[in-house]
């Protein structure tokens, strides 16, 4: 079963045609990485899928629920309640963490559970502490985000997203804002999630990592899908001349 | 003590009488201060939100209101609110209410700008993080954005409160009794500078209390950046 199905998604900002008909399907338990040069529309695609931007055209369904459907050449969005329930099935990890600085780590993880999902405080705290333990951050529950390293902040942000029990988790360049020595600890967490068959869509510049954990890799360029294939095919196949050129540039 | 009364050229009785009037004036000034503070701050948040409204007319009207409030003398506004209704419609305003109303709509215009700057300084990502976690727009604003705004606007808001301490003296223009009124009248009738010096000291003390209160609030919110 596909948890995410997007067909012919278009998005323009004024004259700038950023997404030119992107298709993406993600099956339950799959990990899909989206790679490509900067400005190729990777982040815009992710933002359309997480409702942070509205697509101009195309169909998007998440967890079997229609988010938007194309009618007469424009995307028609479902009603507010449907969009909200889709939102709750989805988690997003930002490049710049976007933790809430005025709350402790624990409150960052529990507040939405209580306020949005209506869980009891005790239940929310149990879930939060469990996740913090998995992130190896148990001793930091009373700390404030500004007291943590970038890697720790991003792990808290991942825990905050997971605390809402999403069915599919999106990552927007989760390691791009980190110092090189802190990237490993975040990738390790994502790797663990992949092993537990968390459905994930990851925009990343970490090619080795994408190759290692992905079931499918999408190469996006200038708003179009150049290839959507297994990592072996993407990274090894010489037939994707443009992709090879991009990868070799990265290695320089 | 005798030396003190000789120095200020007053009998102990006159001095005590003066101090009693000063105390009353101080309380009346404080009333203006407190009511204005209580009403103008939340109204300032509203002004900031209306000014940022995506509806162009709403934003434009709010901006015009702010221009008038910030672009004309508060003294004149006090006169207008106090006597305007009588001149135009024959309805007289209660003096104290007119005074508070004029102060509140004036200060809300300034607070609106301070809070607007504060609200705009919160990164868009904070709203987006709230949105993807399922918070409603209202929850995101009141629980995530506004607390951070409060920390950021504390210094300029404190400054504005210091101005308000001294601006209460402007109530004199509509004959609303308060500290400055007492100082002016007593110094005239006693032909003495002493009431002015005492009033100055009291304004300074009130300002110092406001300054220390804001300093303490800033320290309290120092736990995050």
Q: What is the DSSP letter of A204?
A: -
Does residue B212 fall inside a structural domain? yes
**In the predicted model, is pLDDT for residue A239 greater than 70?**
no
**In the predicted model, is pLDDT for residue B14 greater than 90?**
no
Domain boundaries, chain A: 2-251
**In the predicted model, is pLDDT for residue B78 greater than 90?**
yes
Summarize the confidence of residues A90-114 as an average pLDDT: 96
Strand partners, B52: none
Best A96, A98, A127, A145 member to test B by mutation, with max B CBs in 10 Å, is: A98
CATH code, B98: 1.10.3720.10
Does residue B9 fall inside a structural domain? no
Tally of domains within chain B = 1
Best B122, B129, B135 member to test A by mutation, with max A CBs in 10 Å, is: B129
CB A100 to CB B128 under 8 A? no
Residue A199, SS3 per DSSP? strand
Q: Which of B162, B21, B176, B44 lies closest to B100, judged by CA? A: B176
* Residue showing tokens 């459907």: A69
**In the predicted model, is pLDDT for residue A242 greater than 80?**
no
pLDDT of residue B203: 97
Q: Which of A87, A98, A34, A39 lies closest to A63, judged by CA? A: A87
Least confident of A99-103, A230-234, B184-188: A230-234
**pLDDT-based confidence at residue B13 (cuts at 50, 70, 90):** confident
Does residue B225 fall inside a structural domain? no
**In the predicted model, is pLDDT for residue A164 greater than 70?**
yes
**In the predicted model, is pLDDT for residue A251 greater than 70?**
no
Tell me the per-residue pLDDT of A19-43, one tens digit each, with 9 for 90 and over.
Answer: 999 999 999 999 999 999 888 999 9
**In the predicted model, is pLDDT for residue A249 greater than 80?**
no
Gap from B221 CA to chain A (nearest CA, Å): 9
pLDDT of residue A52: 95
Does residue B3 fall inside a structural domain? no
Summarize the confidence of residues B56-62 as an average pLDDT: 97
pLDDT of residue A26: 95
CB B129 to CB A94 under 8 A? yes
Closest Cα in chain B to A51: B132
Residue B139, phi then psi, degrees to nearest 5: -60, -45
CA end-to-end distance (rounded Å), chain A: 40
pLDDT of residue A39: 87
3-state helix, strand, coil split of chain A in percent (to 5) is: 40, 30, 30
Residue B123: list chain A partners with CB under 8 A.
Answer: 96, 98
Tell me the per-residue pLDDT of A194-235, one tens digit each, with 9 for 90 and over.
Answer: 999 999 999 998 888 999 999 999 999 999 998 999 988 888
CA distances from B131 to A69, B32, B46, B73, B126 (A): 22, 41, 22, 43, 9
Write down the CATH number for the domain with range A2-251: 3.40.50.300
CA distances from B105 to A137, B101, B118 (A): 49, 6, 20
**In the predicted model, is pLDDT for residue B6 greater than 80?**
no
Residue B132: list chain A partners with CB under 8 A.
Answer: 50-52, 87, 90-92, 161
Q: Which of B45, B199, B169 lies closest to B103, judged by CA? A: B169
CB A87 to CB B134 under 8 A? yes
**Selected residue with higher pLDDT from B128 and B93:** B128
**In the predicted model, is pLDDT for residue A248 greater than 80?**
no
pLDDT of residue B109: 98
Question: Considering chain B, what is the average pLDDT of its residues?
Answer: 94
**pLDDT-based confidence at residue A13 (cuts at 50, 70, 90):** very high
**pLDDT-based confidence at residue B152 (cuts at 50, 70, 90):** very high
Structural contact between residues A169 and A203, judged by C-beta atoms closer than 8 angstroms: no
pLDDT of residue A145: 95
- Within a 10 A sphere around the Cβ of A32, how many other Cβ atoms? 22
The angle at the Cα of A32, spanning A26 to A37, to the nearest 5 degrees, equals 125
Summarize the confidence of residues A8-20 as an average pLDDT: 93
Summarize the confidence of residues A107-112 as an average pLDDT: 96
**In the predicted model, is pLDDT for residue B224 greater than 90?**
no
């Amino acid at each position: 079963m596909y948890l995410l199905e997007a067909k012919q998604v278009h998005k323009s900002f004024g004259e700038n045609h950023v997404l030119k008909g992107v298709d993406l399907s993600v099956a339950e338990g799959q990990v899909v990485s989206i790679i490509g040069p900067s400005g190729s529309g990777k982040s815009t695609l992710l933002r359309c899928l997480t409702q942070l931007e509205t697509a101009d055209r195309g169909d998007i369904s998440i967890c079997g629920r229609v988010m938007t459907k194309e009618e007469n050449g424009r995307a028609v969005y479902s009603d507010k309640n449907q969009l909200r329930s889709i939102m709750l099935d989805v988690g997003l990890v930002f490049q710049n963490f976007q933790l809430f600085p005025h709350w402790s780590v624990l409150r960052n993880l529990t507040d939405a559970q209580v306020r949005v999902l209506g869980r009891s405080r005790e239940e929310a705290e149990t879930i939060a502490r469990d996740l913090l333990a998995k992130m190896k951050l148990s001793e930091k529950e009373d700390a404030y985000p500004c007291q943590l390293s970038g890697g720790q902040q991003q792990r808290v942000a991942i825990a905050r997203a997971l605390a809402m029990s999403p069915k599919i988790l999106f990552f927007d360049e989760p390691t791009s804002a980190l110092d090189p020595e802190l990237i490993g600890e975040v990738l390790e967490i994502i790797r663990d999630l992949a092993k537990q068959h968390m459905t994930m869509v990851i925009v990343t510049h970490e090619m080795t990592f994408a190759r290692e954990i992905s079931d499918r890799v999408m190469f996006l360029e200038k708003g179009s899908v150049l290839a959507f294939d297994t990592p072996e095919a993407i990274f090894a196949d010489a037939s994707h001349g443009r992709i090879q050129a991009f990868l070799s540039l990265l290695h320089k | 003590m005798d030396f003190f009364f000789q120095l200020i050229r007053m009998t102990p009785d006159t001095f005590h009488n003066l101090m009693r009037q000063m105390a009353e004036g101080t309380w009346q000034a404080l009333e203006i201060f407190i009511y204005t503070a209580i009403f103008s701050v939340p109204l300032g948040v509203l002004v900031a939100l209306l000014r940022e409204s995506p509806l162009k007319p709403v934003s434009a009207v709010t901006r015009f209101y702010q221009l008038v409030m910030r672009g004309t003398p508060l003294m004149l506004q006090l006169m207008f609110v106090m006597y305007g209704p009588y001149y135009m419609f024959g309805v007289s305003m209660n003096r104290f209410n007119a005074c508070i109303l004029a102060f509140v709509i004036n200060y809300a215009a300034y607070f609106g700008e301070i809070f607007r700057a504060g609200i705009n300084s919160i990164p868009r990502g904070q709203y987006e993080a709230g949105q993807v976690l399922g918070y409603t727009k209202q929850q995101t604003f009141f629980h995530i954005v506004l607390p951070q705004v409060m920390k950021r606007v504390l210094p300029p808001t404190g400054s504005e409160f210091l101005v308000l301490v001294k601006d209460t003296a402007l109530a004199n223009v509509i004959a609303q009794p308060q500290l400055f009124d007492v100082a002016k009248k007593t110094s005239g009738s006693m032909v003495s500078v002493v009431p002015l010096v005492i009033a100055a000291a009291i304004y300074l003390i009130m300002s110092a209390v406001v300054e220390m209160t804001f300093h303490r609030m800033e320290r309290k919110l120092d736990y995050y950046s």
